[in-house]
Structure 1
C-alpha cells in the first residue's frame, strides 16, 4: 500500500511539473509585413495584454526581418497589440492552451493609416521597460510612488537600481556619477540635488545610460570610455509651469529644519532654486518632510559600518539655470553655497602590527569644524555650423574652513604595558580658491568618419593655511625611565598650483566601418609649497622663533607628452579598438630651501583596447583596458616633517617616482523588458607599478615615523553582480546584489617587507511592494564579510562579519492621514572589545494632508525612538586594524509643515491626428502605461 501511495504521489508530482513546464513554454511568434508591398517591418512595437484585465504580459520589438517572439507564456487568452509609425495599430486575440502551446501566427499584414478599430482603440502604449542599445528606459507611470514623493523614491522601485542611506545611487552595480534633466545638467555633477528635490510626479521616463565620452558622441566612434548616468525626462504637460515646496519644522532637543525648492520649467528653459537650514544632519539636499523615510536623509549615515560625522548644523542655497537660447546655442550654469559646522566625539582602538610585536593605540578626541563653500559652474554649447561645435565649461570654487581638535591618547606594548600617553591640540584656518576651464572644439569633414577635435583644460588652485600645534607627551623608556616633551608651534603654509592639458584627436576612415584614430596629449602640472614653522616665545607670548628644521620651500613641475594610434572597427553588433601609446614624463623638483634639484625622465609604452558585442537588443558584453600615470602629491614630495601628531611624524620624499596604473574591466549585461529579468555583472582589475605607499618605522617609545616610497606588487580586483528576479504576480521584482573585492598591498614596517591581503564580500537582497494606493513597503537585508591576511604577523589574521536588515512601511488612511515607519537592525562581530554591538534603529511618522488638492502636509516624526543609534566602523590598513566609534544624533521628534506648489499650464498640443476620436467613454489606465479608449460602435 505504501508503494502504491508513493507511486501515485510521484505520478501527481510529475504531472504537476510537466503541466508547469508546459505552461512556462507557451510561445507566440509571427512576422509583420506591409499589406501592399509585403515587405518586412522592422522595429515595430509588439505588446501582449492579458485579455481579462488588459494588463501587460510581455512586449518585444520586431527584428530586421519583421519577426518577433514572445516566450515563457502561461496558458490563457491574450490580446496582441501591434503598432508601427505610419501604420494602423492591430489588436487581435490569441490563446495559449496545453494542446497548442505555440501560437505561430505567420505573416501579419499591417494596413497603412486610415482604418479605425471598431470597438477599442489604444491611443498610446508605454511598456514598463524598454532597451535601446546603451540605454535602459523605465516608464515612470509603471512604478507607483506616494503623493509628493521625490525622484529618489521612484529610483528605489526600479529593478537593478540601489539607493543607499546617504542617497548615493548605483545602477546595474555601477555608481551613478551624473544626473541630467531632459539631457541638461542640474546643479552641476551632484546627482543628489536632482533626486532629492525634483518631484516624482513630473517624471515621464527614467533612462539609465552608459554615457559615452564627448569625443565618442561627436565622432560616432566608440572609444570604450563610458560612465553610468541617469537622464530624467519630464512629462510634456509638466514642461511649462512652476512647482516646488516650502517646509519648516521644530522639535525636541532644540532641533529645527527648514527648506525650500522652487522650479520654473518652460519648453526651452529650466530655472531652479533650493535652500535649507537645519541642525539634524541634513546636508540640504531634500525637503524635511521626507527626513525619516527612504534612507534617513543623513540621520543614519553613522550607523552600522558606515562611520559617523558627528552632529552638524547646515545652511545651503543654490540656483540652477539652463536654456536653449537659439537652435545652436545652449547654456547652463549653477551656483551653490554650503556652510556646515560639525561637532564630533571619536573613540578609536588601533592595533599597529609590527614584525615581532603589536602596539595598541587608544584615542579619544573632540572636534569642531566649520566649512563654507561657494561653487559656480557653467556649460556653453555652440554649434558653429552643421560641421563644427564649441563647448566651454568654466568652474570656480572658493572654500574657507576652520577646525579645532582635542585628543587624549595612550599607547600600549605587546603585553598591554603603558608605553606613552599625552594630549594634543590642533587648530587651523584654511582658504582655498580654485578655478578650472575646459574648452572643446570639434570639426566634422565632408568625408564620413573624418573628424578633428581639440581639448584644452586649464586650472589653478591656491591654498593659504595657518595651523597651530600644541601637545604634551610622556614616554616610558625600556629601562622604565620617564621622558616628557612638549610642542607649541604655528605653521604658515602657502600652496600654489597651475595645471594645463591639451589633447588633439584626429580620426580617418579606412573603410565603411574601420577607422584610424591619432591622438596627441601634452600636460604640465606645476605646484609650489612654502611651509614656515615658528615656535612659541613664552617671553613675548607670540610665535616668532623660526624653526628651520620644520620649514621648507620647493617647486615641482611634472609634464608629460603622449602620442598614440588606434584602429577602431564598428560593426552593427560589435565594435573594438586596438591601440598603442607612448608617454614621456619629466619630473623637475627644485628644493629652494636646501638648494637641491632633482630631475627624472621616464618612458612608458602601453597598449589600449576595448571590445563591445551585442548578442541582441537585450544582451551586451564589454571589455576595456587603459594605462596611465599618477604623480605624487605636494605633501608627499615636501621634504620636511609634519609633527601635528607627535606619535605619527610624516616625512616627505622628493625622490618619489610617478606610479603607473594598468586598468582592466569586463562587463556583461542582459535584461528582458517583457519579463523584467536582468543580470548585470562587472569585474575590474588595477595593477600598479611604482605604487606610492607609506613605509613606517616604530621606535621603542611607540612613536611612528612614516615616509612615502615606491613599491611594486600591489593590485586590487573588484566585482559586482546584480540579479533582478521578477515576481510577475506581484508586479515587482527582487534585487540580489553581490559585491566582492580583493586587495593586495605591500608594506614596510621597520624595514621589513610585508604583504597584506584583504578580501571583502557583500551579499544583499532587496524587495519592494505597493498595493494600489493603500500601502507600500520595502525590505533590504544582507551580510558583509571581511578577511584580513598578513604575511609577517599571521597571528593577527582576522575574519569578521556584519549583518544588516531594514524594513520600511507606509499606509494611507482615510481623511488624508498617513502613517509609516522604518526599522534598521545591524549586528557587528569580530571587532575589538566594546565595539561588537547590535543596534536597532526605529523611525516613525504620522502625517495629515490638508486642503482639497492635498497641497499641504503636517507631519510628526520620531527619530531613533529606541535611542540606540551608534556609529561603529572598522578600518583595515597594510599594517594596522582600527575600530572607531563616533558621536551620532540620537532620539528626537520633529513637527513640520510643508506646502507644495504645482502650477502647470498648457497640456500636449496637437497630438496624433490619426488617434483622435469622438464620442469616447472615460479612459481606462492600464498598468505599464497603456492608455485604452473605449468607443461606441
Structure 2
C-alpha cells in the first residue's frame, strides 16, 4: 500500500509537471529588418501582451542578427509589438493553441516614419522601456507614484537612477546637471526647478541621454565629449494644448507654513511655466542655497542650505518660457527670484593636526543670514541661412547677502589657552552678467564645419564686514586681552573672455580631423581696505595697512590643438593634443610690485567608447588640463576676519596640472529590468596648490599660505546592481558599493603632512512599483579612515536604515510613514549620536480626485539631531547644529489636471494609450 501510494504521487507529480510545461511551452520567434536596406535591426524592442487584459507576458530585444525568441507562453490570444525609435511600430495579433503552441513571424520589416525623430508618434501601447544608441527611454505609465507626485518621485523609481536627500540626481553613476522638458531647457540650468516642481502626471516618458557636445551635434563627428542629461517628454494631451500643475497650502503648529504654486501651460511647441514657493519648513525646490559673500569668516554665511542645518524661511517665484517657431528658431527665457533667511546655531569641536602641535578649538555659533537673488536667463537659436546658425545665451544675476553672527571660541595649544568672542556683520552685493555666443557654419562637404564660440562673464562684489573681536590669551599665569573693532571694505571686479575656433575636416567616411584654436583672457582686481574704529571721531577712519591691499591678476592663454576621431558602428575613439602658452601678470597696486610669469603646457585628451549592444557600453576617457590659482590664493595679504586660520596668498604659485582617467561600464537588460554599472575615476595632480601653514604656538592662530606640492591623487570606484524581485519591475532590489581614496600633502611649519583618507560606502534599497503600495526601504552605512603622517589615525562610522511606505486604502485614503534611524560612532565626545526620525501623514482625495486634504507630522518623536563630520587635509571637525523639530501641519492640494476637457491620470493608473517617443 505504501509503495502504491508513493507511485501514485510520483505519477501525479509527473502529470502535473507535464501539464504545466505544456501550458507554458509556447514560443514566439522572428527576425526584424530595416525596410531601407533590409539589414538586421540590432536591439529593437519586442513585447507580447495578452489581449484579454493588456498585461505584458514577455519582452526582449533583437540580437545583432535581428532575431528574437520569447518562451514560456501559455495558450491564448496575444499582440506582438516591435518598436524602434524613428521607425514605424509593428503590431501583430496571434493565438497559441494546443495544436499550434509556437509561432514564427518570419521577417518583420520596419519602415521609416518619414518625419523627424522628435515628431514620431505611436498609437497604441508600447513596451515600457526602449533603448537606442545613446537614449534609454522609460514609459512613465509603468512607474507607480503617489497622488500629487512630482518628477523627482518618478525618478526615484527609474532603474539605475538615484536621488539624494538634497535632490542631486545620479543616473548610471553620473551626476545629472541638466534637465530638459520636451528637449528645451527649463528655468536655466537648475535641475531641481524641474524635478521638484513639475507634476508627475504630465510626464509621458523619461529619457536618460548621453548627450553629445554642441560641436558634435553640428559636425556629425563624435568628439567624445558627453554629458548625461534627463529629458522629460510630456503627454500628447499636455503637449497639444493644456494646463497642468499642483498647488498646495498648508499651516501647522509653531506657526509653520508651506505654500507651493505650480502651473504649466503647453500649446504644441510653446511652454509657459510659473512656480512659487513660500515656507519656513526648510524646503527649497531649487538649487543654490544660501551662499555668502564678502569674506564673512568661517563660512557661517555660506553653505547654509536647509540640508546642512539651521531653520530656513524661503520665498521664491519664477516664470519660464520656451517656444520653437516654424523656421526652426528656438527661444527660451526664465526669471527666478528667491529670498531666504537662515537661523543657525551650532557647536563644534575642531582638531588641527600639525607637525609639532595639535590645536583643539571648542566653539559656539549663533547666526542669522539673509539672501536675496534674482536670475534672468535667455536663449535664442536661429539660422542665418541654410548652412549657418547662431545661438546667443545671455544671463544676469544679482545677489544681496546680509548676516550677523556671534562666535564664541576656546582654543588650546599645548599649555596655552585663548578665549574669544567675535561679533561679525556682513553686507554684500554681487551683480554678474555672462553671455555665450555660438556661430556655426556647415560646408557643402559632409562633416566639414567651422564654428566659433565666444563666452564672456563679468562678476563684481562689494562687501562691508564689521568685525568686533575681544580675545584673551593665557600663557601660564599671565593673561593678555586685545580688542579688534574694524571695518573691512572689500571690492572685487572680475572679467573673463574665451574664444574658441574649431574646424573639422572628414578624412574618410569614418575618420575625421579637428583643428582648434583657443584664446583666453581673465582679469581680477581685488581691493581690501581695513579701517579701525576711532574713539575720538566715533567712526572707522584709521587705516590698518597690515591688512589693506589692492591687487590685480591678469592671465592670457593661447592654445592650438589637433584631434583625430574615428567612428564605427560598434565603437568610436578620439585622441588629441594641444599646446598651451600662458602669461600671468600680477600687480600689487599698493606697493607697485609687478611679477610676470610664462608657462607652457601640453594638454592631451583621449576617449574610447565601445558598444557591445545598445544596452552594454564601455567608456574610457582621459584628459589633462591646467588649473590657474585664484586671486585669493596669490594676493599676499592676510584676512583677519578669521579667528583661527588666517589666509594669505602667494604670488609665486604655479598653475597646477591634473590628469583625469574615467572608466565606466553599464548594462541594462530590458527584458528583466536588471541593471548593472561599474565605474572608476582617477585624478593625479602635479604642482597641486596646497596649504602651507605656520603656527603661532602662543595663540594657536594658523597663518595659512599656499604652496605647490606633488604626489597628490584621488581615486574612486562605484558600482550598482538592480535586480527585480517581482517580475515587471514591481519590486526591485538595488545594491550600491562605493570606495574613495585620497592622498593629499600639506605643509606644516615647513614639514610635509600627508593625509590618506579611505571611505567605504554600502547601501541596499527596495523600490516598489505597485498599484496601491508605495515602498522605498533600505539601509546604508559608511566607514571613513583618516591617516595623518604627522599625527594620529581616526575612524568614524555611520549607519542609516530607512523605510518610506504608504498604502492607498478604499475611499482614496492614504497612510504614509517615513522612518529613518541614524547612528554615528568614532567621533569626538558628545558628537556620537543615535536617533530615529519619523515623518507621517494621512490624506484623502476629494472633488473627483483633484483635491487632497492631508494631516502630517514632522519628527513624530521629536528626536531629530543635526551632526556632521568633516575630514580634510590635517583638520577634523565635528559639528552639532540646530534642525527642524516636531510640528504638525494641515494642508490642501489642488491639481490642475484637465487636458482638452479630460481629467489626467497619474502614471501607472491606466493612462497613456497614445504615446510619444522622443529623441534628441
TM-score, scaled relative to structure 2: 0.89
Per the alignment, residue 856 of structure 2 pairs with 861
Conserved 8 A contact 1:351-1:880: yes
**1:876 and 2:871 aligned:** yes
**Against the structure 1 CA distance between its residues 614 and 24, is the aligned structure 2 distance closer, same or farther, given a 3 Å change threshold?**
farther
- Distance (whole Å) between structure 2 residues aligned to residue 90 and residue 515 of structure 1: 43
**1:506 and 2:503 aligned:** yes
**Against the structure 1 CA distance between its residues 567 and 22, is the aligned structure 2 distance closer, same or farther, given a 3 Å change threshold?**
farther
Per the alignment, residue 644 of structure 1 pairs with 641
SS in 2 for 1:763: strand
- Distance (whole Å) between structure 1 residues aligned to residue 473 and residue 24 of structure 2: 75
**One of 522, 541, 545 as aligned partner of 2:542:** 545
- Distance (whole Å) between structure 2 residues aligned to residue 88 and residue 170 of structure 1: 34
**1:515 and 2:515 aligned:** no
Per the alignment, residue 216 of structure 1 pairs with 216
Per the alignment, residue 59 of structure 2 pairs with 59
- Distance (whole Å) between structure 2 residues aligned to residue 578 and residue 319 of structure 1: 43
Shift of 1:251: 1.2
- Distance (whole Å) between structure 2 residues aligned to residue 371 and residue 931 of structure 1: 46
**One of 632, 636, 648 as aligned partner of 1:635:** 632
Cα displacement string for residues 8-63 of structure 1 (whole angstroms, at most 9, x for unaligned residues): xxxxx9xx999999999998643257999998677765323468855224434445
- Distance (whole Å) between structure 1 residues aligned to residue 98 and residue 675 of structure 2: 25
Cα displacement string for residues 84-103 of structure 1 (whole angstroms, at most 9, x for unaligned residues): 76686323356999xx9xx7
**One of 589, 594, 598 as aligned partner of 1:597:** 594
Shift of 1:356: 3.2
Conserved 8 A contact 2:797-2:825: yes
Cα displacement string for residues 313-339 of structure 1 (whole angstroms, at most 9, x for unaligned residues): 111010100011333211001000111
Conserved 8 A contact 1:537-1:544: yes
Conserved 8 A contact 1:127-1:930: no
SS in 2 for 1:253: helix
Per the alignment, residue 445 of structure 1 pairs with 443
**One of 411, 433, 436 as aligned partner of 2:434:** 436
- Distance (whole Å) between structure 1 residues aligned to residue 572 and residue 909 of structure 2: 39
Conserved 8 A contact 1:55-1:928: no
SS in 2 for 1:645: coil
**One of 91, 94, 104 as aligned partner of 1:92:** 94
SS in 2 for 1:402: strand
Per the alignment, residue 585 of structure 2 pairs with 588
- Distance (whole Å) between structure 2 residues aligned to residue 37 and residue 617 of structure 1: 20
Conserved 8 A contact 1:312-1:341: yes
Shift of 1:451: 0.7
Q: Give runs of aligned pairs for residues 338-487 of structure 1, distance below 5 A.
A: 338-413=338-413, 419-477=417-475, 479-487=476-484
Shift of 1:308: 2.7
Per the alignment, residue 253 of structure 1 pairs with 254
SS in 1 for 2:153: helix
**Against the structure 1 CA distance between its residues 396 and 661, is the aligned structure 2 distance closer, same or farther, given a 3 Å change threshold?**
same
**Against the structure 1 CA distance between its residues 468 and 393, is the aligned structure 2 distance closer, same or farther, given a 3 Å change threshold?**
same
Per the alignment, residue 485 of structure 2 pairs with 488
Range with bigger deviation, 259-268 or 720-729? 720-729
Conserved 8 A contact 1:333-1:379: yes
Conserved 8 A contact 1:352-1:358: yes
Conserved 8 A contact 1:663-1:687: yes
Conserved 8 A contact 1:133-1:617: yes
- Distance (whole Å) between structure 2 residues aligned to residue 308 and residue 515 of structure 1: 48
- Distance (whole Å) between structure 2 residues aligned to residue 229 and residue 89 of structure 1: 31
- Distance (whole Å) between structure 1 residues aligned to residue 282 and residue 372 of structure 2: 16
Conserved 8 A contact 1:530-1:552: yes
- Distance (whole Å) between structure 2 residues aligned to residue 175 and residue 186 of structure 1: 18
**1:819 and 2:815 aligned:** yes
Cα displacement string for residues 452-498 of structure 1 (whole angstroms, at most 9, x for unaligned residues): 11000111111111111111111122x54222212111111111011
Conserved 8 A contact 1:309-1:342: no
**Against the structure 1 CA distance between its residues 599 and 848, is the aligned structure 2 distance closer, same or farther, given a 3 Å change threshold?**
same
- Distance (whole Å) between structure 1 residues aligned to residue 34 and residue 281 of structure 2: 63
Per the alignment, residue 5 of structure 2 pairs with none
Shift of 1:358: 2.0
**Against the structure 1 CA distance between its residues 109 and 405, is the aligned structure 2 distance closer, same or farther, given a 3 Å change threshold?**
closer
- Distance (whole Å) between structure 2 residues aligned to residue 206 and residue 588 of structure 1: 49
Cα displacement string for residues 690-709 of structure 1 (whole angstroms, at most 9, x for unaligned residues): 11121112222212111111
Shift of 1:513: 0.6
Shift of 1:592: 1.0
Q: Give runs of aligned pairs for residues 118-197 of structure 1, distance below 5 A.
A: 124-197=124-197
- Distance (whole Å) between structure 1 residues aligned to residue 37 and residue 719 of structure 2: 47
SS in 2 for 1:206: strand
Cα displacement string for residues 789-811 of structure 1 (whole angstroms, at most 9, x for unaligned residues): 11222xx2122210111111112
**Against the structure 1 CA distance between its residues 667 and 770, is the aligned structure 2 distance closer, same or farther, given a 3 Å change threshold?**
closer
Shift of 1:674: 1.1
**1:800 and 2:796 aligned:** yes
**Against the structure 1 CA distance between its residues 439 and 883, is the aligned structure 2 distance closer, same or farther, given a 3 Å change threshold?**
same
Conserved 8 A contact 1:88-1:112: no
Shift of 1:899: 1.9
- Distance (whole Å) between structure 1 residues aligned to residue 589 and residue 180 of structure 2: 47
Aligned length: 868
Cα displacement string for residues 403-450 of structure 1 (whole angstroms, at most 9, x for unaligned residues): 111111111245xx5521111111111101000000001111111111
Q: Give runs of aligned pairs for residues 193-342 of structure 1, distance below 5 A.
A: 193-239=193-239, 240-285=241-286, 308-342=308-342
Cα displacement string for residues 715-756 of structure 1 (whole angstroms, at most 9, x for unaligned residues): 111222121112244723222122221111001111110211
Give 5+ residue unaligned stretches, structure 2: 1-12, 113-121, 288-302, 916-920
Per the alignment, residue 745 of structure 2 pairs with 746
Conserved 8 A contact 1:630-1:658: yes
**1:898 and 2:896 aligned:** no
Shift of 1:778: 1.4
- Distance (whole Å) between structure 2 residues aligned to residue 785 and residue 24 of structure 1: 49
Range with bigger deviation, 758-767 or 494-503? 758-767
Range with bigger deviation, 394-403 or 350-359? 350-359
Conserved 8 A contact 2:548-2:637: yes
Shift of 1:112: 10
**Against the structure 1 CA distance between its residues 88 and 250, is the aligned structure 2 distance closer, same or farther, given a 3 Å change threshold?**
closer
Conserved 8 A contact 1:306-1:872: no
SS in 1 for 2:237: helix
SS in 2 for 1:385: coil
Conserved 8 A contact 1:126-1:929: no
Shift of 1:68: 2.4
Conserved 8 A contact 1:284-1:315: no
Per the alignment, residue 712 of structure 1 pairs with 710
Conserved 8 A contact 1:46-1:80: no
Shift of 1:190: 1.0
Conserved 8 A contact 2:502-2:516: yes
- Distance (whole Å) between structure 2 residues aligned to residue 56 and residue 362 of structure 1: 62
**One of 887, 902, 914 as aligned partner of 2:882:** 887
Range with bigger deviation, 249-258 or 491-500? 249-258
- Distance (whole Å) between structure 2 residues aligned to residue 270 and residue 896 of structure 1: 29
Shift of 1:560: 0.7
Shift of 1:898: 2.2
SS in 2 for 1:644: coil
- Distance (whole Å) between structure 2 residues aligned to residue 548 and residue 35 of structure 1: 80
Shift of 1:648: 2.2
**1:668 and 2:685 aligned:** no
Per the alignment, residue 832 of structure 1 pairs with 828
